[in-house]
Amino acid sequence: MRFGKQDRLFVLTGAGISAESGLATFRGSGGLWNGHRVEEVATPEAWEANPELVWRFYSMRRRDATDAQPNAAHRALAAIEEQMGDRFYLCTQNVDDLHERGGSRRLHHMHGELFQSRCVSCERPFSDRKFYESAAALPACETCGEPVRPHIVWFGEIPLDMEGIYRQLDRATVLLVIGTSGSVYPAAGFVHIANQRGIRTMYIGPEEPQNAEAFDEILSGTATEIVPQLLYTFRSFQSRCQNAARDY
Ligand SMILES: [Zn+2]
pLDDT-derived band at 248 (thresholds 50, 70, 90) equals: low
Q: Which of 55, 49, 15 is nearest to 31 (CA)?
A: 15
Q: Please confirm whether the linkage preceding 186 is cis (ω < 30° from 0).
A: yes
User: What was the pLDDT predicted at 70?
Assistant: 98
Of residues 242 and 173, more confidence is placed in: 173
pLDDT(29) > 70: no
| Residues recognised as catalytic | 111
Q: How far, in Å, from the CA of 120 to the mean position of ligand 1?
A: 7
Q: Is the separation of the CB atoms in 4 and 241 below 8 Å?
A: yes
CA 210 – ligand 1 centroid, Å: 41
Say whether pLDDT at 222 is over 90: yes
Ligand 1 centre from 77 Cα, in Å? 36
Q: How far is the CA of 131 from the centre of ligand 1 (A)?
A: 19
How far, in Å, is the centroid of ligand 1 from the Cα of 127? 14
Q: Give residue-wise pLDDT tens across range 159-169.
A: 999 999 999 99
Name the H helices within the chain. 15-19, 44-49, 51-67, 72-84, 98-101, 162-171, 190-197, 223-247
The pTM of this model reads 0.93
pLDDT (0 to 100) of residue 25: 67
CA distance 24 to 180: 13
The predicted pLDDT at position 30 comes to 58
Mean pLDDT of the chain: 92
| 46-103: pLDDT as tens digits | 999 999 999 999 999 999 999 999 999 999 999 999 999 999 999 999 999 999 999 9
Instruction: Compute, in degrees rounded to 10, the torsion defined by CA atoms 202, 114, 58, 165.
Output: -50
The rounded Å distance from CA 117 to ligand 1 centre is: 11
What pLDDT is stored for residue 24 in this prediction? 82
